[in-house]
């Protein structure tokens, strides 16, 4: 499994997801509190954010988050109104390489997959992927639906439901953003959101112990815009 988090709202540094909160992704990389499968997320990490260019900036490494001496400085200065970051625990048999590490990207979309799925299940849903890992094929399937005209939430929901029907043991918690919205699915693991005065946090597990975190029900789609937070069944 993996852990991921995103922010939409007033400009914040990536550190707001990673090392500023008591239980940010840095802590979750070696001591997650709610992770149902696996105990450590040391197989890589990545983050994405939006600047003036329409497409996001992405930074990925195939090493543990705590092992990157450049991360604290980068996370402090990289700021955006839309952020996404993830730490990885690779599915057994999957490659450990940067191309297998979230976030995956296509155009304005960034995507992270927390879970596992049989690759043959998602290979039928996409033409190609940048890595042989299951998460890369999931991302490719979502992006292909985006090119076909589906919105961010619609694309996530279509892939998750189709893959989940073919692989009953799949865990398909997806988290994606496009610079103006966030969409996420809950299918086999935990997800929470927290509405603040200047935006919304979404994360696999709470980044702190402050009140206000709300669990998203199993088999649900969460969509977040500047004006609204919605949860609907898948």
Q: Which residues are catalytic?
A: 2
Residues in Cβ contact with 95 at an 8 Å cutoff, skipping those fewer than 6 apart: 131, 132, 133
> 93, 92, 80: which is closest to 177 by C-alpha?
80
- CA atoms of 83 and 116, how far apart (whole Å): 23
Contact (CB, 8 A) for 179 and 48? no
DSSP element (H, E) containing 114: strand 109-116
Q: How far apart are CA 79 and CA 81, in angstroms?
A: 7
* Nearest CA-CA partner of 142 in 117, 119, 111, 166: 111
The alpha carbon of 215 is separated from its chain's Cα centroid by a whole number of angstroms, namely 16
Instruction: Report CA 127 to chain centroid distance, whole Å.
Output: 22
End-to-end Cα separation, the chain, in angstroms? 21
């Amino acid at each position: 499994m993996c852990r991921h988090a995103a922010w939409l709202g007033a400009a914040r540094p990536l550190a707001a997801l990673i090392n500023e909160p008591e239980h940010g992704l840095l802590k979750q990389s070696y001591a997650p509190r709610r992770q149902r499968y696996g105990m450590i997320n040391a197989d890589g990490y990545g983050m994405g954010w939006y600047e003036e260019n329409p497409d996001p900036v992405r930074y990925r490494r195939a090493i543990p988050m705590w092992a990157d001496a450049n991360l604290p400085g980068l996370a402090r200065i990289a700021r955006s109104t839309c952020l996404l970051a993830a730490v990885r625990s690779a599915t057994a048999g999957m490659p450990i390489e940067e191309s297998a590490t979230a976030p995956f990207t296509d155009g304005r979309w960034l995507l992270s997959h927390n879970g596992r799925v049989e690759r043959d299940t998602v290979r039928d849903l996409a033409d190609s992927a940048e890595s042989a890992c299951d998460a890369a094929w999931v991302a490719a399937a979502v992006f292909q639906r985006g090119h076909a005209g589906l919105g961010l939430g619609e694309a996530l929901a279509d892939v998750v439901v189709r893959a989940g029907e073919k692989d009953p043991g799949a865990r398909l918690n997806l988290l994606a953003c496009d610079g103006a919205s966030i969409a996420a699915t809950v299918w086999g693991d935990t997800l929470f959101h927290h509405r603040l005065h200047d935006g919304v946090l979404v994360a696999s597990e709470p980044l702190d112990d402050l009140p206000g975190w709300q669990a998203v029900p199993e088999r649900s789609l969460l969509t977040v815009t500047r004006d609204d937070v919605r949860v609907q069944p898948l």
